[in-house]
Amino acid sequence: MAPAVASITERLHLFLDRLATPIGQMILVADSSGNLRVAFFADDEEPIRHQLSQQYGPNGFLLESARNPHGLTDAVASYFAGNLRIIDDLPVETGGTAFQREVWRALREIPCGTTTSYGKLAQRIGRPAAVRAVGLANGSNPVAVIVPCHRVIGSNGALTGYGGGIQRKRWLLNHERTPTLF
């Protein structure tokens, strides 16, 4: 489904910030209401702009740099510093299909420090035959870490693909298995 093209007056006003993490730079994008729209590990804005264009159309948003929009950058930094539960309640608003958003909501229900498989996630949303579709939705998640797609592994326990790379996925899972400092 193609995104609706917004007029200039309907453009979504978004704020971009960068965060140095132990596993690389993360770029965060928030809206004016304080919802995270995108969070990617990236060195430049191109993948962010591509994701936003897919979700909202090439003219559907206005992106400007901002420091710590709505305190979200500091909250994500706190997660990397050991406050693992802080991401649980961060507000997220995404584009995507109804099915993708259903999968992304289910991802947020996976407890920190645990993992699940694509099959179990498909069962959790009441669509046990949709394992491949769940995998595709998981891979299309625009809000890394906060919508914890890294917590989904293969049914055999193997680490499977991760948009940020397997090394980051391994780091995130190990980080979440350590006792919280807060």
d(CA 122, CA 81): 32
Please tell me whether residues 120 and 84 are part of one structural domain. no
149 catalytic? Reply is yes
pLDDT digits (tens, 9 = 90+) for 83-125: 999 999 999 999 899 999 999 999 999 999 999 999 999 999 9
Range(s) of the domain holding residue 148: 98-176
d(CA 107, CA 23): 21
- What lies within 8 Å, CB to CB, of 129 at 6+ separation is 122
Please tell me whether residues 71 and 110 are part of one structural domain. no
Of the candidates 65, 89, 113, which is a domain's last residue? 89
Q: Which residue in 30, 107, 149, 173 is the catalytic one? A: 149
d(CA 132, CA 57): 26
Please tell me whether residues 102 and 170 are part of one structural domain. yes
Of the candidates 29, 62, 89, which is a domain's last residue? 89
Read off the pTM: 0.89
